[in-house]
Chains A and B, each alone.
Chain A
């Protein structure tokens, strides 16, 4: 009787322990798996894509770039479709969320000879525009 009680308790504990371990492993792996399913660039998003689209029109992104669903067909710079999936920006910049923000805000700090003007965006506005750019497929 005593032994069977001890055995039941310990096995229940073992199951609980196993469940906890499994939950912990899943909790650790799931965000990693979610990141892998997207590109590294899109993983750290933040910002509001709808607001970003309005800001992109305001600042004039489509004046030079071909952007899906925009009224103008910019042909000065590269098209921005799938920009989140590119490995590099502007020829030689590793395409991370942080670099994209910095490039949008002040491209000439990276490349003094770029034709893209510095448009004096706030960090917040650049974050919204980045969120919009990450929706482009």
Chain B
């Protein structure tokens, strides 16, 4: 675990707090507009979008990615 989402068991502080991620204008320290496509691309392969970021690539099955993005978009 790297992120905090308040109200859940995720309380890590390695990466940014995602409790209100859906309310943010940008992702990855201001480098990307916070839209579904950018969010998905960031989760799958952040290194290509912000070389040097500590977040590793995540291999997800398509249905899992869509469910995860659906969930993150509810975090307003």
Query: How many chain B residues have a CB neighbour from A under 8 Å?
Result: 19
Within 8 A of B (CB), among A10-35: none
Q: Taking the nearest CB of chain A, how far is it from the CB of B1, in angstroms?
A: 23
A contact face: mostly helix, strand, loop, or mixed = loop
- B74 interface residue (CB < 8 Å to A): no
Q: Tell me whether A60 and B45 are in contact (CB under 8 A).
A: no
Q: Which residues of A contact B41 (CB under 8 A)?
A: 60, 62-64, 74, 76
A-B contact count (CB 8 A): 63
A64 and B40: CB pair below 8 A? yes
**A108, B66: Cβ atoms closer than 8 Å:** yes
A114 contacts the other chain (Cβ, under 8 Å)? Answer: yes
Task: Tell me if A120 is interfacial: C-beta within 8 Å of chain B.
Answer: yes
Q: Does A72 sit within 8 A of B, measured CB to CB?
A: yes
* Closest CB in chain A relative to B30 CB, distance in Å: 13
**What are 6 A-to-B residue pairs whose CB atoms are below 8 Å?**
A60-B33, A60-B35, A63-B32, A63-B37, A74-B49, A117-B37
Residues of B within 8 A of A (CB): 32-33, 35-42, 44-45, 48-49, 62-63, 65-66, 69
Residues of A within 8 A of B (CB): 57-64, 72-76, 108, 113-115, 117-120
